Structure formats: C-alpha cells, structure tokens
Amino acid sequence: MASGLDRENVEGSDIEHLVHFLDPDASRFPLQNAFPLIALAFSDEGETDLREGLASVHALGTIPEIPLRRIDVPVKAESLSLIRTLVEGGVGRLSRFTSAVTAELAILRRERETLLENYRALEDAFQAHNWEPVAEIFAHDPYADPKDEGIGQLLSTGCVEQLLPVSSHGVAGFALHLHSVPRDGGELVVMLGYVENGEGVAEWTVPYAQLTANWNFFALPRACGGAARTLRLRISTTGTETVELSLGYPIASERYTARSETPHPDLDLRPLAFRVFTGLPGVKPARMPNMIAPTALLEGHFIEDYRLAVDLLSQIVDVSVTPVVPEFQTVRFLEHENAVVCHPLPSGISAGTIGRAVEPGTISFSASAIIDHPKGAPAAVSFLLAPANSNARSEVAELARKGAAKPSAFFSGWREVTAAQAININFQLDKPVREPMDLMILSRAVTDTVDFSWLKVSGFRLVKQSAGASNVRQ
C-alpha cells in the first residue's frame, strides 16, 4: 500500500503490480479487492497522506494493523527485491489459508444439508407415530372441601412437599393449581429435585403478580433424560401475603400425599392439585399457556432450603453506628412474629447482627420488610454478610464511612421501604459461601424524620447448595 503522491517512485519497478495506491483526492475508504500487508512511504508528504488513509482503513475494523515502512529515495534495487519477496510470500500464505477455509466451508455445507435431512426424517417419524411434543400423563384435579382451612401459613413458615407419581424420564414440566393469589406482597418458590440422591433439577421464584388463580405451568428448559428416578416438589413462599395452593381429592396412598414438617388437617391423605407433562428426553418442550421458565437450573447440585430458627433470631445484638442515643430500643426480636425490628435514627446506621446465622454453601437469601406503623416514615433497609466472629460494629462503620462493604463481606444494597406495602429483598451470591457467616440487618433514614419508623423484617429464607452427596430426608 502506498500514497498516490509517491506513485512516480514505484512506477516501472518490479513491485508496481503488487502496490495499491491511495488516491489523495478520493474517499478515505479506498480498498477494493485488496488486502494490504505492508505500507510504503517514499516522502514526508506521502507518509502523512498514508497515515491518514491507514487510519480510515483501521476504522473499518476488518483489517489488522498494517506496518508502515519509510523507503529512502532514490530507491535501491535490493530494497524493492526484499519488499517483493515479503509481499509475495504473504500473499501466498493468505491464498493458501483462503483455500483451506473454502474447503472447510464446503464440508460444513454438506454436513448442514445432511443434518437438515435428518431433521426432516425425524419430523416424518413423529407424524407417523402421532407423537406429541408435550403430553399430559398425570393429573390431580382441585377439590375444595368445606372444612379446608388453607395451607398458606404452612408455605410462609416452612414448605410443602409433593412426590410426583411418575418416572422422571421425559418429564418436561408440571402445573400447579392456585385458588387464591394476592396481587403482590410475596413470591412463590418452587423447587424440583430427585428423591434418590437429593440432586436439584430447577428452581422457580415467581412474584405473585405473575401468577393466576388457575393452572400455572412450570416448564423445564428440556425434558429430563438419563435413568428413571423419582421427582419431588418443594413449595414455599416469601413475603407477608400468602398464596393458597389447591388440594386434590383424598387418595389411599400416603406416599403420594402432600407433606409438611408441621402437621395440618388439610393434608390428611390429600395431594396437591397438579398435572405432569412429558416430552422427548433432552428436547425443549413446546410453549403452553401461563408457562413459567426456571429462575435457576440446579443440575449437579444438592439444594436445601432453611430458615432462621427462633432461638437464633432471638440472639440478635445491637451493633448500630450512630451519634444519636435514643430513648427506645432500636433493634429487637419480636417473638410471636418471628421477626426483627430495626428502627432507623436521624443519622448513622441502625444495625443488628446474628452470629453464624448463614451456613456454609448458602447461595441466596431473601426476606420481606415493611414499616410496621400506618404513619411510619419511610426508611432504607439492607443486609450484610460478614465472616463469622468478625467485629460487627467495625463492619457497619466501614459501610457507613465508605458506602461499600469490606472485600470479605457481601452487601445487598439499600432498598427503600414504606408502610404502604411490604417489599421482598432477594440477595443472590455469585458463589456459595465457604464458611459460616454473620448476618447483619441494617436500616437508615431516607427523609428528615424517622417518626414511627418501625422497620420490621421477617420471612427469612436461605438456600444452600453443594456438589457432593447430601443427606436429604427421603
């Protein structure tokens, strides 16, 4: 490549047929059927013009940086011979590379045609055998008993489990029937896993606003493959409002009734109302109404929900960092509500810590928060996970001073909360924690007043996972 200003220094030489000239009066996108390997300048003016042209070429982003070499005038024959050898060798390599790519492209095209022919053969086989992409293979219809009390409270304080009475092979999704869904105020958490080894398959965390008081379909990204195993649903909720799962007709087999750690009269020999759908193992299922995709895939991990016990919550310690000395208790445990109150102050951060509350393997944390007084001023709430037995007050002071947590801690960020509506706070970690950690609940003022700002935090739910064997209750 050379500038048109240096044309006279190249014309008549043995490299003239290898040179592409930049016309100084033309557009700065001059490449046509050319792939430059080196740029030559024979004068100061030519070098200046060539650099401007190369800048335009590089802006296209399709050609790597081209080295520029200055050649003294008069041009020596040995210099042109060297340049000719360099360029012709580069052109030869480029030509051989292009030929190889063209040959591989032809092979790929033939393979693609073969693949499409195989797909057409599979489609013909599907049509010949009347195979459906998704088929319902089991259903428990909803049944409302006049004596039912509702199991919403079981879901908010624990979980309900349901075995699926079908093999896992080919299961592409399931549907749950809900007969009562609040507009907001919480989330439905559904986890699907294998009974035999406790391994998780997928998890769905769905805000109430996305649910309907009818059948809700939970789809897997692809139908289950591998050996036939037993599947189990584990269902819980977060937030202050409760959703009501429908139950089915009483059945004779206790194995396939819905279960909970807390006894409940509604679960006496009754399963949940659910449907199971199957498809081709390993194949993405077809879309269905009200289909909900998984929030997380749990393949290869053993998943376990746990909640903070009452005796653990009752050990919360005030570690506030504030110059204000209030006349009331800012951090305390509400025994009958399994909740924690953390009242913000006009300046600084109100905080309470629960030692070693977060178990190793924890990957996510969620809770609900609300200002527990109709006239309460709004506040900001956050959570901080710090190494066990660390100086909690120092961790809070670091956050108050710099606005960021120490590298060894995990900070959820601030969320504003009011008395009008409870909010759900979901804290997802990039990777599971390795060691036990302390949990800190923090609050601060967001307006000039903190009157009646009783910030109540409840519904603590944590999820931990591991890649090894797990002792899961069968």
- CA geometry: angle at 103 spanning 102 and 107, to 5°? 115
Q: Which of 277, 299, 321 is the last residue of a domain?
A: 299
Q: Are residues 442 and 323 in the same domain?
A: yes
In this prediction, what percent of the chain has a pLDDT beyond 70? 90
Q: Are residues 351 and 444 in the same domain?
A: yes
- Assign 422 a pLDDT band (cuts: 50, 70, 90): confident
Q: Which of 299, 319, 335 is the last residue of a domain?
A: 299
Return the pLDDT at 163: 94
Q: Are residues 50 and 169 in the same domain?
A: no
CA distances from 48 to 18, 24, 63, 70 (A): 21, 11, 20, 11
Q: Are residues 352 and 422 in the same domain?
A: yes
Highest mean pLDDT among 63-67, 141-145, 227-231, 349-353: 349-353
pLDDT > 50? residue 468: no
Of 36 and 91, the structure prediction assigns the larger pLDDT to 36
Instruction: Give the whole-angstrom CA distance, residue 29 versus residue 192.
Output: 58
In sequence order, what are the beta bridge partners of 305? Answer: 463
Q: Are residues 278 and 349 in the same domain?
A: no
330 assigned to some structural domain: yes
Return the pLDDT at 130: 55
Residue with tokens 């609050």: 443
Of 221 and 72, the structure prediction assigns the larger pLDDT to 221
pLDDT tens digits for 135-149? 888 999 999 888 888
Phi, psi of 321 (to 5 degrees): -120, 95
Q: Is the pTM of this model over 0.85?
A: no
- Assign 297 a pLDDT band (cuts: 50, 70, 90): confident
Give me the mean pLDDT over the 167-185 stretch.
Answer: 89
pLDDT tens digits for 300-329? 566 677 888 888 999 999 999 999 888 899
- Of residues 319, 312, 339, 337, the one with CA closest to residue 386: 319
State the total domains in the chain.
Answer: 3
Instruction: Give the whole-angstrom CA distance, residue 274 versus residue 248.
Output: 8
Q: Are residues 322 and 268 in the same domain?
A: no
pLDDT tens digits for 382-419? 999 999 988 999 999 999 998 888 888 999 999 999 99
Residue numbers of the domain that contains 415: 310-467
Q: Are strands 215-219 and 291-292 parallel, antiparallel or unpaired?
A: parallel
Return the pLDDT at 2: 87
In sequence order, what are the beta bridge partners of 385? Answer: 410, 439
In the chain, what's the furthest Cα-to-Cα distance?
107
Q: Are residues 143 and 288 in the same domain?
A: yes
Range with lowest mean pLDDT among 293-297, 298-302, 321-325, 452-456: 298-302
- Assign 132 a pLDDT band (cuts: 50, 70, 90): low
pLDDT > 90? residue 78: no
8 A C-beta contact, residue 453 and residue 378? yes
Residue with tokens 């064997």: 469
Q: Are residues 227 and 351 in the same domain?
A: no
Return the pLDDT at 125: 65
Q: What is the mean pLDDT of the chain?
A: 84
Q: Are residues 113 and 30 in the same domain?
A: yes
Residue type, 418: T
pLDDT > 70? residue 449: yes
- Assign 351 a pLDDT band (cuts: 50, 70, 90): very high
SS3 123: helix
Return the pLDDT at 126: 61
Q: Are residues 404 and 267 in the same domain?
A: no
- Assign 131 a pLDDT band (cuts: 50, 70, 90): low
Q: Which of 131, 159, 183 is the last residue of a domain?
A: 131
Return the pLDDT at 25: 63
CATH of the domain at 437: 2.60.120.260
- Assign 470 a pLDDT band (cuts: 50, 70, 90): very low
Of 220 and 282, the structure prediction assigns the larger pLDDT to 220
8 A C-beta contact, residue 204 and residue 295? yes
22 assigned to some structural domain: yes
Give me the mean pLDDT over the 251-255 stretch.
Answer: 87
Range with lowest mean pLDDT among 28-37, 146-155, 439-448: 28-37
Return the pLDDT at 473: 34
- Of residues 150, 155, 153, the one with CA closest to residue 237: 155
Helical ranges in 191-265 per DSSP H: none
pLDDT > 80? residue 59: no
In the 8-state DSSP scheme, what is residue 89?
A: H
Alpha carbon 40 to chain centroid distance? 52
Q: Are residues 31 and 116 in the same domain?
A: yes
